[in-house]
């Protein structure tokens, strides 16, 4: 335990606890290990104290206490960040996960969402009215971290990024003040939180624009033998070139999971999965998706009407909490023959049954805004690659990480040079690649809102003051 923490007496902690509607959790308290545990089992950090916030007042108390005692702050929403930035040894963890309110206005088609909400909880509330906003593809992800990094998923080709649908936010600043940020109020802060991460404060409420979606959508996976990977990837590329924004298909190379629609003899064998989704009219979608269903000779085709909430949760079981995770990512403006060869080459050497090479087709509405419209800068790519390296045995750490880095390096010449901040696995990543040409403006906003870099356990923008 650091010197600063050891000098904080019980009296000060009792005083902090007395200001809370939530709870103060200390290392010896019941619930400490549960609260400090995050999704990625590679992260095993021990904060000095944890403030489990019940509302905005608790967040303000925690920030004020941390400043008074010169404590490092970490902020936990859903705890799903690949680099585990929600938790840090000897830090004061501000745990927002108890803050679970979702208020939907079906007439205005908006939702006001607290930062402890995870995606399936948001979908549950909005789908009661046949509404949704673009969010991620793993429904156990927290809305806060996803949004602050940009946020994209199945609806993004049609409706843009999560941050493109953010109307306003309430933010607790480094001064312990609550401010409102929107296009009309604190515009610079609003610009910065839309892709600039948790650099400028703690968001305690998000207001999103909703769209009519579902409750039933046309979606489903098509499974091919890995031996046909080159032909399937080529067919995927051809389909994507003419796909309307309502259609989204992702390609995934992995070992076949034991799902009921996949013939049992293929369970555990290497396959190529085309995951399909159509955001518009069902009959229209049948016609639009038919060409991708006609590619090759699939093992299984489960495309059909599915609940939107079910599709949003369909892949959660393939990346459970408690496994070890390491990701690498690239953006591409096209898919070349050389890239397809590389995907197939590394597909042959996937290190574990849980690991996958995911190649989503994105673009569409995501690319229709200027680069400087939001802090999120990546408005110039059609495909991304996410190496979801995943395993259980710590003795495989070196092997799995090396495989991901090797494949990432092999595809670097084909990439745009940009990377999604939410997919950077290292605690300290390449800020320039994540924030691109918007980085200098983010530094100016950091100088204004957090000149002492109180909020630094993130993909950090360092102030110059």
Average of per-residue pLDDT across 157-161: 98
Q: Does one domain contain both 319 and 377?
A: yes
Q: Is 430 contained in some domain?
A: no
- Residue 6 is predicted with a pLDDT of 55
Dihedral sign computed on CA atoms, order 259, 263, 266, 272: negative
Give the pLDDT confidence of 368-394 residue by residue, as tens digits. 999 999 999 999 999 999 999 999 999
Q: Which of the four pLDDT bands, split at 50, 70 and 90, describes residue 3?
A: very low
* Whether pLDDT at 87 is above 80: yes
Q: Does one domain contain both 364 and 231?
A: yes
Q: Does one domain contain both 324 and 289?
A: yes
Q: Does one domain contain both 116 and 243?
A: no
Judged by average pLDDT, the poorest of 21-25, 73-77, 85-89, 426-430 is: 426-430
* Whether pLDDT at 257 is above 50: yes
Q: What is the pTM of this model?
A: 0.95
Domain that holds residue 106: 102-212+437-449
* Whether pLDDT at 231 is above 80: yes
Q: Which of the four pLDDT bands, split at 50, 70 and 90, describes residue 456?
A: very high
* Whether pLDDT at 9 is above 90: no
Average of per-residue pLDDT across 396-404: 97
Q: Does one domain contain both 442 and 296?
A: no
* Whether pLDDT at 165 is above 90: yes
- Residue 399 is predicted with a pLDDT of 97
Query: Domain ends where: 95, 119, 136?
Result: 95
Q: Does one domain contain both 240 and 346?
A: yes
Q: Does one domain contain both 62 and 108?
A: no
Q: Is 432 contained in some domain?
A: no
CATH number of the domain that residue 355 is part of? 3.40.462.20
Query: Domain ends where: 95, 124, 157?
Result: 95
* pLDDT averaged over every residue in the chain: 95
Q: Does one domain contain both 117 and 203?
A: yes
Q: Is 321 contained in some domain?
A: yes
Give the pLDDT confidence of 139-151 residue by residue, as tens digits. 999 999 999 999 9
Q: Is 455 contained in some domain?
A: no
Judged by average pLDDT, the poorest of 3-12, 175-184, 446-455 is: 3-12
Give the pLDDT confidence of 110-131 residue by residue, as tens digits. 999 999 999 999 999 999 999 9
Give the pLDDT confidence of 323-372 residue by residue, as tens digits. 999 999 999 999 999 999 999 999 999 999 999 999 999 999 999 999 99
Query: Domain ends where: 53, 76, 95?
Result: 95
Q: Is 234 contained in some domain?
A: yes
Give the pLDDT confidence of 274-283 residue by residue, as tens digits. 999 999 999 9
Q: Does one domain contain both 184 and 44?
A: no
CATH number of the domain that residue 166 is part of? 3.30.465.10
Per-residue b or e along 306-335, where b marks 16 or more CB atoms closer than 10 Å to that residue's CB: bebbebbbbbbebbeeebbbbbbbbbbeeb
CB 133 within 8 A of CB 115: no
Q: Does one domain contain both 365 and 396?
A: yes
Q: Is 431 contained in some domain?
A: no
Average of per-residue pLDDT across 399-412: 97
- Residue 10 is predicted with a pLDDT of 87
Q: Does one domain contain both 166 and 242?
A: no
- Residue 426 is predicted with a pLDDT of 75
Q: Is 418 contained in some domain?
A: yes
When computed from its CA atoms, the radius of gyration of the chain, rounded to whole angstroms, is 22
Number of domains present in the structure of the chain = 3
Q: Is 429 contained in some domain?
A: no
Give the pLDDT confidence of 98-109 residue by residue, as tens digits. 999 999 999 999
Q: Which of the four pLDDT bands, split at 50, 70 and 90, describes residue 5?
A: low
Q: Does one domain contain both 341 and 235?
A: yes
Give the pLDDT confidence of 283-337 residue by residue, as tens digits. 999 999 999 999 999 999 999 999 999 999 999 989 999 999 999 999 999 999 9
């Amino acid at each position: 335990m650091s010197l600063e923490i050891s000098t904080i007496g019980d009296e000060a902690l009792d005083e902090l606890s007395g200001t809370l509607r939530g709870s103060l959790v200390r290392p010896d308290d019941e619930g400490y290990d549960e609260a400090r545990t995050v999704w990625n089992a590679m992260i095993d950090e021990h904060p000095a104290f944890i403030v489990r916030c019940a509302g905005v007042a608790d967040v303000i108390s925690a920030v004020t206490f941390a400043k008074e005692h010169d404590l490092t702050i970490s902020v936990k929403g859903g705890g799903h960040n690949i680099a585990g930035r929600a938790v840090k040894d000897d830090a004061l963890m501000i745990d927002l996960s108890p803050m679970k309110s979702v208020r939907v206005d079906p007439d205005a088609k908006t939702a006001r969402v607290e930062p402890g909400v995870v995606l399936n909880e948001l979908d549950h509330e909005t789908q009661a009215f046949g509404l949704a906003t673009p969010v991620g593809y793993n429904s156990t992800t927290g809305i806060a971290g996803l949004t602050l990094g940009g946020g994209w998923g199945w609806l993004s080709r049609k409706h843009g990024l999560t941050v493109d649908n953010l109307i306003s936010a309430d933010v607790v600043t480094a001064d312990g003040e609550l401010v409102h940020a929107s296009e009309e109020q604190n515009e610079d802060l609003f610009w910065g939180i839309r892709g600039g991460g948790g650099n400028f404060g703690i968001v305690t409420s998000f207001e999103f624009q909703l769209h009519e979606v579902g409750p039933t959508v046309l979606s489903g996976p098509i499974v091919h033998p890995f031996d046909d990977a080159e032909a399937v990837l080529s067919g995927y590329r051809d389909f994507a070139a003419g796909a309307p924004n309502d259609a989204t298909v992702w390609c995934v190379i992995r070992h076949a999971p034991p799902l009921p629609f996949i013939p049992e003899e293929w369970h555990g064998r290497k396959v190529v999965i085309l995951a399909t989704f159509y955001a518009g009219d069902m009959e229209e979608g049948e016609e639009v998706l038919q060409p991708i269903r006609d590619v090759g000779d699939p093992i299984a085709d489960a495309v059909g009407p599915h609940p939107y909430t079910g599709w949003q949760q369909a892949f959660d079981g393939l990346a459970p909490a408690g496994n070890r995770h390491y990701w690498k990512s690239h953006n591409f403006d096209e898919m070349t023959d050389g890239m397809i060869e590389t995907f197939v080459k590394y597909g042959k050497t996937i290190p574990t049954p849980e690991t996958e090479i995911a190649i989503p087709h994105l673009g569409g509405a995501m690319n229709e805004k200027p680069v400087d419209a939001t802090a999120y800068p990546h408005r110039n790519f059609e495909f991304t690659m996410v190496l979801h390296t995943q395993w259980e045995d710590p003795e495989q750490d070196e092997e799995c990480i090396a495989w991901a880095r090797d494949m990432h390096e092999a595809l670097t010449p084909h990439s745009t040079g940009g990377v999604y901040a939410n997919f950077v696995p290292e605690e300290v990543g390449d800020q320039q690649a994540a924030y691109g040409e918007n980085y200098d403006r983010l530094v100016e906003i950091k100088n204004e809102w957090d000149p002492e870099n109180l909020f630094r356990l993130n993909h950090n923008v360092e102030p110059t003051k």
